[in-house]
Amino acid sequence: MLKPCLKDAQKRTRKRVLFKSDIYKVSDELKTFGQNKKYYVKTYGCQMNEHDSENIKAILEDMSFTEASDMLDADLILLNTCAIRENAHNKVFGMLGRLKHAKEEKPNLIVGLCGCMAQEEVVIDEILKKFRFLDFVFGTHNIYDLPNILKKSLDNKKIEIDVPSIEGDVIENIPVKRDSKYKAWVNIQFGCDKFCTYCIVPYTRGKQRSRKHEDI
């Protein structure tokens, strides 16, 4: 279990940003993991979260899952969360209450949580106290590792929490499933170093780091 740490999320060093283009892999074993299964991703928050969900959907489809149009038809439900406003927190915790009942009725249902809320210590403490029915939780830095996180959770038959609080690198070549035929979210930079009093982004998204212009 790797829980987030607020103090670690505050750290800024002179460590060089690494650009990793070969870190995303789906093993042969996991390429058919989701065969005959459907997924549903519910997204809360900003355009960055929307784009993260496009990456998550593509990863799940690399594992042979297909997208469900209705959450109730899904075999795997993933909440991609936002930490900017308290109202967003309340919506997610309310949804987790609904999903707890759904899992009681459908024991094989796989339920996960990711995104900015996952990067908060207090949220993970709340999950461990009230929502241990969840199968897996991951953060904003390790989306590329979703196949392995999912497998670990189901192999160990307990909640898998994998949320590093790190400055972060730039991970390229994660697949994407665009939600629109006419527009596309394109990341130019990640994170922030400003630490404004009212803003949680530097804690949940890591240090400011830009992509190479040729990759953009």
Residue-wise pLDDT tens digits, 119-143? 999 999 999 999 999 999 999 999 9
Summarize pLDDT for 70-83 with one digit per residue, the tens: 999 999 999 999 99
In the predicted model, what is the mean pLDDT of residues 203-215?
96
* Number of domains into which the chain is organized: 1
- Classify residue 53: in a domain, yes or no: yes
**Strand, helix or coil for residue 43:** strand
Q: Write the single-letter amino acid at 22.
A: D
* Token pair listed for 145: 């590792």
- Classify residue 22: in a domain, yes or no: no
* Token pair listed for 110: 């796989």
* Token pair listed for 88: 């967003």
- Classify residue 115: in a domain, yes or no: yes
Mean confidence (pLDDT) of the chain: 95
What residue numbers bound the domain in which 69 lies? 37-175+184-210
- Classify residue 8: in a domain, yes or no: no
- Classify residue 13: in a domain, yes or no: no
* Token pair listed for 169: 């690198």
Residue 130 is part of a domain; what is its CATH number? 3.40.50.12160
In sequence order, the 6+-apart residues with CB closer than 8 A to the CB of 85 are: none
Question: What pLDDT score was predicted for residue 182?
Answer: 95
Work out the angle at residue 178's Cα, subtended by the Cα atoms of residues 201 and 95, and round it to the nearest 5 degrees. 55
- Classify residue 87: in a domain, yes or no: yes
| Residue 63: closest CA among 150, 137, 142 | 150
Whether the pLDDT of residue 89 is over 90: the answer is no
- Classify residue 32: in a domain, yes or no: no
Question: What pLDDT score was predicted for residue 174?
Answer: 97
H/E element holding 190? Answer: strand 189-190
- Classify residue 94: in a domain, yes or no: yes
Q: Residue 86 — pLDDT band, cuts 50, 70, 90? A: confident
- The span from the CA of 22 to the CA of 83, in Å, is 30
Length of the chain measured in residues: 216
Q: Residue 26 — pLDDT band, cuts 50, 70, 90? A: very high
pTM: 0.95
Q: Residue 85 — pLDDT band, cuts 50, 70, 90? A: confident
